[in-house]
Every structure is written in C-alpha cells, then in structure tokens.
Amino acid sequence: MATVVVPDRLTSHVAAGHPWLYVNAVPAIPGARTGEFVTLLGQGRRPIGQALFDADSPIALRVLSTRKDETPGPALWHRRVDQALSLRRSVLDLRHTDCFRLLHGEGDRLPGVVVDHYAGFLVLKLDTPAWLPHLEQLCDALEHHVRPRGIFFKGISGEHEAPRNLRGDEPPEHILVREHGMRLAVDVRRGQKTGLFLDQRENRALVRQVARDRRVLNLFSYTGGFSLAAALGGATHVTSVDLARGAIDGARHNFSANDLDPTAHSFVTADAFEHLAACAAARELFDLVIVDPPSFAPRKQALRAAEAAYTKLNAAAIRQVRPGGLVACASCSSHVPMDLFLQILRESARTARRALRVLEIRQEPGDHPTPLHFPEGRYLKFVLALAE
C-alpha cells in the first residue's frame, strides 16, 4: 500500500478527527491512483491512519480510519453503516419519519459518501470518484444492514456520472415518504440533490408549531416542505415561491397528498427577489416569511458577493413581515459560518429598519452529524426571529 508522510503540524488534526488532507499540504504520492488506499505516516514514520486517494481533487486524501484495528475494506464499511443506522434509530422517531440521511459522509466517517433513505429506497451520491472502485462493497454493506428495496446511484458531485440503479427495485417516479407524519412525494431522478432537503426536517417541524393563524410567504419553497408544514400547522394561507416550475408543481401535488386544498393557497413560479419587490410594491405583508435560498457562496472567492446578496434578500424579506410577525432565515453555504450569518441578519434588519428578536437558532440535525474538528463540514444555519 502507498504511504505518505503527514507534516507534523497536521498529525494532531488527523488524530482529532479532521477528515481531509489537501494536495498542497502533503508530499506527492508517486504511482498512487484515484481510489487507492494510502497509509498516513506520522513522526518516525509511525502509521497514524488510512485514507482514500483522489489524484484530481484539491482534497487529495480523505481519512477513513485512525485506529490500528480498522483497515479499509468490506469489514470497515459494514461497521460504519451499522453504526450510522444505530445513530439514526436513536435520534429519529422512525414511526413518523421514513426519510432521513443514513450516511453523512465525513460525519459518519465514510468521507465523500452520502446516502439518503426514502421509504425503503436508498439514494447514494459521491463527492469523489475515488469511491467508485468500492461501490459494490458499499452496496453489499448497505444491503446487509438496511435491507432496502433498492439502491439508486445519483452520481458524483461536479462530474457527469450517469445516474443508475445499482441494486434491487428501480425507484418509482415518485416515492411517497413521511416526515413527522407529513407526506411528501420525492422524485429521486429529477429532483435536486438526492430528492429532498432532509436537513431542514426539524426546522419544518418548528414552522409547523408556530404557523397557526398566520399568512405565510415561503421563498425558495422547492417542493413545498415548509409550506406544507405551515399549512398543516394551521396557517390561513401559504404562498410558495420557487424559480423551478417542476418544484412548484410538486408543491401543489404535495398539498393534495396531505388533504390540503391547493386552490386555497398560492403557488408562484418566480424569482424570489422579484417576487419580494412585487410584494413591496403592493404593500403585501405576511405573518411569517421563510427564506431558504440555495448557497450564494459555493466557492470561498464568491463570499463577498454572497454576503451582499444574503443581506439584500433578508432585508427585503424582513420588510414584508407584519410588525410583530415572524421571519425564518436559513443559509446552507459552508463558507458562511454561524457568526457571519448572524452578522448578515443584523445588517439585514438594520437595512430594513426593524428590530429582530431571536427565538431559535439551529444547525444540522442529528442525522447530519459533523466531526467537531471539521468546521468546514458545518453548513446549515437557521434562525427564527420576531420582527418588531
């Protein structure tokens, strides 16, 4: 097996659980190919761990294990999947929720592997082609522990790897799942990410709790997760806005699936910024505005522009909140840490000339664990506030 000497300043980070080594931070590994395992060596060439090599990514090595009794291979994949499943069984109420993240890559110590569970169907997505040679073994472990109806491969982030069924039944066009009892149709083939934004589950439940008797505006609604939660929680009227027509059609369909009358609510295919401008022009106010945009800072270089865009968006959203109403603001950019997001919200509130009182601040839920030593892995921020 190939080896690489890890610089002294990084060995303690690896030991503490940081799962990545950047290509610039380690010596070249002659002859190593994408997908091969590499032994990490510390001081005195003592082995300190095992990693998966990617010849083409800035993240050259993803740490698979730092324990002597763990070597990469089928037994380790089994152990990781087994542990991941036990964690979900303990943090989720699986009687009312059958959609969740089963493997959250780095957080489940299978860095680069994401597996979402939708009512018995697994959808697998990779961050790196380095896992391709091990895909069959991963599927074996998943089949053994989860006994899924099927395993569908959604591809590799940033690469053109054709989606395909790997095991068992092909997923139906719409998988009907339940989230805290709420019904959602998931299109794993055409949907964004693996089909649903599972990371907002507990925040949708929170919105359900506070939505009674409110007129709600849900911006970036996708297939209506927050909208449904609000309507089921007793909102009098919900407007869902998304740029993607397919998402809005899905939202309407999801209302019917929950015995809610879609004609009593509004579904708008539009740009959220433009929709907010139209609401401002019409002096239309809401009792709850939800803002859950896609990442404005997919790269660190885009951070400055992203800060300005988040501020503009949240300020415009806060302006449309009736005095005393609520605003729920989220960001899923890993380049915007929580303290920066709170600063952005302060600036947004100042711009809108409104005082916000924070009711709840949240990060990723328990089925999206992150190593404490991996702040880069934290990406979700969600703030519920009262706008005076």
Cα maximum dimension of the chain? 71
Interaxial angle between packed helices 272-281 and 303-319, expressed in degrees from 0 to 180 and rounded to the nearest 10: 30
Helices (H), the chain: 8-16, 74-91, 135-146, 201-210, 225-232, 245-257, 272-281, 303-319, 338-351
Interface positions, 190-219, toward ligand SAH (CB under 6 A): 192, 197, 200
Nearest distance in Å: CB 126, ligand SAH: 21
Q: State yes or no: residue 243 binds ligand SAH (CB under 6 A).
A: yes
For residue 173, the number of C-alpha atoms closer than 13 Å in the C-beta half-sphere is 1
Q: State yes or no: residue 226 binds ligand SAH (CB under 6 A).
A: yes
Q: State yes or no: residue 309 binds ligand SAH (CB under 6 A).
A: no
- Cβ-in-10-Å burial (0-12, 13-18, 19+) of 173 comes to exposed
The values of phi and psi at residue 102, to 5°, are -85, -40
Contacts of 301 (CB under 8 A, 6+ apart): none
What is the per-residue binding string for ligand SAH in 267-306, x denoting contact by CB under 6 A? ----xx-------------------xxx------------
The three-class DSSP label of residue 151 is strand
Catalytic residue among 139, 279, 329, 332: 332
Q: How far is CA 115 from the centre of its chain?
A: 11
| Closest to ligand SAH by CB, 247 or 356 | 247
152, 222, 296, 379: which one binds ligand SAH (CB under 6 A): 222
Q: State yes or no: residue 244 binds ligand SAH (CB under 6 A).
A: yes
Nearest distance in Å: CB 159, ligand SAH: 21
Q: State yes or no: residue 225 binds ligand SAH (CB under 6 A).
A: yes
Instruction: Please count the other Cβ atoms lying within 10 Å of the Cβ belonging to residue 209.
Output: 12
Nearest distance in Å: CB 8, ligand SAH: 42
| Closest to ligand SAH by CB, 197 or 341 | 197
**Site size toward ligand SAH, by CB under 6 A:** 18
The reply to whether 332 belongs to the active site is: yes
Contacts of 216 (CB under 8 A, 6+ apart): 227, 230, 231, 235, 237, 238, 239, 286, 287, 288, 289, 290
Q: State yes or no: residue 47 binds ligand SAH (CB under 6 A).
A: no
Interface positions, 104-143, toward ligand SAH (CB under 6 A): none
| Closest to ligand SAH by CB, 221 or 320 | 221
Q: Active-site positions?
A: 332
Residues that bind ligand SAH (CB under 6 A): 192, 197, 200, 220-222, 225-226, 241-244, 247, 271-272, 292-294
